[in-house]
């Protein structure tokens, strides 16, 4: 059912995938992971895991080989861990974490992990304990970090080469508080973020620039204190409004380089995500502002607003390392017609949710992936203003299906990719408004802390999911800067599935892969990461529930994969039509076959004569690891360490390459 057609008299077809596109290898790890994070200097990967207490305490975390780890030390079970893999995906270290914040809870959706240069990483925790008035404690087998007052943020430096953790700073509330104590006006939190208990937890509030400077934007709701190894600094919001504090710290020395408060006494300001620029000379920051005369940066830049403006304005800005604005752009704005009102007993009439999944800088252009959703009652609607300044009223977009929900309808719901030029001008936006994606694209289907948008060679991978009772049509609308629209329709088969849209840099859909799944009980599957693993090889990683049956091969005939336990799947693909790094000759079907694949000791080659046949084995980075003449149609692989390799055969019948895995 792979049919793609575009309205407005634009038609095209996608050619069949080449034979060389194939699923090479897959494995299920008995730990839940929400992301594969590559180091910025391409020296390896960080993968956070959460281990179930009901599983055996010894768990295999090896990708190409069996690597058993024990996460019980003494009488303590460390369910959370950060695994460090080298560039070939062999495990080199693992760090364990446990938390007493809020009782026996998983840290997996509650902390962010930022890989840095020098095999270091920054861990930070958002809203560890708010508003519960109990102490927080995060600890490892060798160290601990605790607080007797409610923490808003905790930042920790992790050195994977020597296995140490050091606290950089914490941001804490000086008084026990509840949300009603500091909400600037009724309905602000529900109208502007992710609901009372979730609004900050999923945000990425920090980035590392210039190799060693941590830039973070922290929300000031009341009187709060920044605790560092050298000093304590106290901040109070201005006139009860929500402000920001920009903190710059040297992660090597622990020195606070600067702290500045941003905002105003008339308006509210907050942050969704902070990402470094590609050259690490500055940052991109996406956030929300409401209220006239409210600066959003250190250089006092403001969005244009009418007098007594009541819209929530979502923006993105590019700043240098000193925090000065290079450009500032509004992506969209909104409010409901019953602006900021609540029913009795704080039962809301209106709530919005946002996620900024990724900000990617490529070829002097910027691409932003977002999810937006607004919920309300039947008599309400949402006023939505797009990046062109056009305003629309939406209502009854999708009816609610949960009878216990406060809301009657979803007023508006979409996923979108925005494209900006080097000056911050929006060049276009590709939006997804399917009613088949669990009613809220990206909110239920993507794991918190994960992503849905990835740069792969000269293309992008945009991850989505759907659930449909019958065959359905997905609608994707590309709006250009001149207001012109192109619409792409994709046929989706009935059932549940993850899918990847492959986009070019003009946000055109050039291909798509569908990964259907089924679980007769309760459980699902999520794609959390799509990584370029060298050459024309892709790594797709995600979560899968026990007893879930899925098709991990979107273009071949591999048998269905059944998960015998809940965990993280890793699937490696050869994808020369997606990754533009191979020549036409490389994409031809090789004149030989190899088996078994994966192998442990011997690789058999059929289809070529041994006479005058030579072979070369390369690692995934393209380095030669072995070469010689083919004897007895076999190659002994016992000297190769577990991992993925490329075999090049040259014979009288021709030459070609094949990938294989050594276990």
Provide the percentage of residues in the chain whose pLDDT is more than 90. 49
- For residue 462, the number of C-alpha atoms closer than 13 Å in the C-beta half-sphere is 29
CA dihedral 367, 332, 114, 245 (to 10 degrees): 140
Structural tokens at position 236: 């109070």
Tens of pLDDT along 374-413?
888 888 899 999 999 999 998 866 766 665 677 888 888 8
Confidence at residue 403, expressed as pLDDT on a 0 to 100 scale: 57
530 pLDDT above the threshold of 90: yes
Tens of pLDDT along 52-99?
765 567 889 999 999 998 888 777 788 888 899 999 999 988 888 876
Map residue 174 onto helix, strand or coil.
Answer: coil
Measured distance CA(621)–CA(646) in Å, rounded: 10
Domain ranges of the chain: 592-662
The one-character DSSP state at 18 is P
442 pLDDT above the threshold of 50: no
Structural tokens at position 294: 């409210």
Mean of all residue pLDDT scores within the chain:
83
List, as one string, the DSSP characters of 257-292: EEEEEE--SS-EEEEEEEEE-TTSSEEEEEEEEEST
Structural tokens at position 621: 């980075």
Q: Which residues does 232 contact at the CB level (< 8 Å), separation at least 6?
A: 225, 226
Tens of pLDDT along 502-528?
999 999 999 999 999 999 887 889 999
Measured distance CA(295)–CA(300) in Å, rounded: 5
End-to-end CA gap in the chain: 36
For residues 317 and 284, is the Cβ–Cβ distance under 8 A? Answer: yes
Ranking 90-99, 103-112, 123-132, 386-395 by mean pLDDT, the lowest is 103-112
Per the listing, tokens 């694209």 go with 441
- H or E segment to which residue 181 belongs: helix 179-182
439 pLDDT above the threshold of 50: no
Looking at domain 592-662, which of 2.60.40.1220, 3.50.50.60, 3.40.50.10240, 3.30.420.40 is its CATH number? 2.60.40.1220
Structural tokens at position 366: 């910027």
Per the listing, tokens 């930070």 go with 124
Task: Name the more confident of 2 and 439.
Answer: 439
């Amino acid at each position: 059912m792979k049919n793609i057609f575009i309205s407005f008299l634009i038609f095209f077809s996608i050619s069949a995938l080449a034979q060389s596109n194939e699923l090479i290898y897959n494995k299920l790890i008995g730990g839940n992971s929400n992301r594969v994070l590559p180091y910025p200097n391409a020296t390896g990967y960080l993968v956070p895991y959460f281990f179930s207490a009901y599983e055996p305490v010894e768990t295999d975390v090896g990708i190409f080989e069996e690597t058993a780890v024990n996460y019980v030390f003494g009488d303590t079970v460390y369910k959370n861990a950060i695994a460090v893999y080298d560039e070939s995906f062999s495990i080199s270290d693992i760090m364990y974490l446990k938390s007493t914040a809020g009782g026996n809870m998983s840290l997996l959706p509650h902390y962010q992990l930022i890989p840095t240069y020098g095999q270091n990483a920054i861990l930070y925790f958002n809203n560890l304990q708010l508003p519960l008035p109990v102490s927080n404690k995060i600890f490892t087998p060798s160290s601990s970090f605790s607080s007797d007052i409610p923490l808003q943020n905790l930042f920790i430096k992790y050195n994977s080469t020597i296995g140490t953790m050091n606290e950089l700073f914490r941001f804490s509330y000086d008084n026990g508080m509840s949300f009603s104590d500091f909400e600037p006006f009724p309905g602000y939190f529900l109208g502007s973020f992710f609901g009372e208990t979730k609004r900050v937890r999923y945000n990425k509030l920090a980035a590392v620039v210039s190799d060693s400077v941590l830039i973070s934007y922290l929300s000031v709701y009341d009187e709060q204190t920044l605790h560092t190894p050298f000093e304590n600094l106290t901040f109070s919001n201005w006139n009860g409004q929500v402000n920001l504090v920009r903190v710059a710290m040297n992660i090597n020395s622990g020195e606070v380089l600067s702290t500045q408060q941003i905002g105003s006494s008339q308006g509210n300001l907050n942050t969704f995500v902070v990402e470094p620029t590609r050259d690490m000379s500055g940052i991109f920051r996406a956030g929300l502002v409401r209220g006239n005369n409210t600066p959003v940066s250190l250089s006092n830049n403001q969005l244009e607003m009418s007098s007594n403006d009541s819209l929530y304005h979502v923006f993105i800005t590019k700043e240098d390392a000193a925090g000065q604005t290079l450009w500032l752009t509004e992506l969209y704005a909104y409010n409901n017609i019953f602006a900021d009102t609540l029913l009795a007993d704080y039962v809301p009439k209106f709530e919005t949710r946002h996620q900024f999944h990724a900000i990617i800088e490529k070829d002097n252009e910027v691409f932003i992936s977002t999810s937006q959703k607004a919920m309300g009652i039947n008599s309400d609607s949402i006023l939505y203003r797009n990046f062109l300044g056009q305003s629309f009223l939406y209502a009854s977009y999708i009816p609610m299906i949960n009878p216990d929900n406060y809301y009657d309808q979803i007023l508006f719901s979409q996923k979108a990719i925005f494209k900006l030029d080097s000056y911050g001008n929006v060049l276009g936006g590709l939006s997804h408004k399917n009613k088949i994606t669990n009613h809220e694209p990206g909110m239920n289907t993507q794991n918190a802390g994960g992503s849905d948008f990835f740069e792969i060679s000269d293309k992008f991978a945009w991850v989505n999911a759907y659930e449909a009772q019958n065959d359905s049509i997905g609608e994707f609308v590309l709006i250009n800067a001149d207001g012109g629209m192109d619409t792409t329709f994709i046929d989706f088969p009935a059932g549940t599935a993850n899918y990847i849209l492959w986009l070019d840099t003009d946000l055109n859909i050039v291909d798509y892969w569908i990964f259907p799944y089924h679980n007769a009980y309760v459980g699902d599957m999520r794609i959390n990461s799509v990584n370029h693993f060298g050459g024309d090889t892709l790594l797709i990683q995600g979560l899968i529930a026990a007893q879930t049956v899925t098709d991990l091969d979107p273009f071949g005939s591999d048998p269905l994969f059944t998960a015998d336990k809940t965990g993280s799947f890793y699937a490696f693909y050869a994808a020369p039509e997606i990754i533009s790094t191979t020549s036409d000759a490389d994409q031809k079907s090789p004149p030989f076959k190899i088996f078994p694949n994966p192998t442990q000791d011997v690789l058999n080659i059929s289809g070529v004569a041994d006479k005058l046949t030579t072979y070369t084995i390369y690692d995934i980075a393209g380095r030669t690891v072995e070469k010689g003449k083919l004897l007895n149609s076999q190659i002994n692989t016992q000297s190769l360490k577990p991992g993925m390799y490329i075999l090049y055969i040259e014979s009288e019948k021709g030459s070609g390459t094949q990938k294989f895995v050594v276990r």
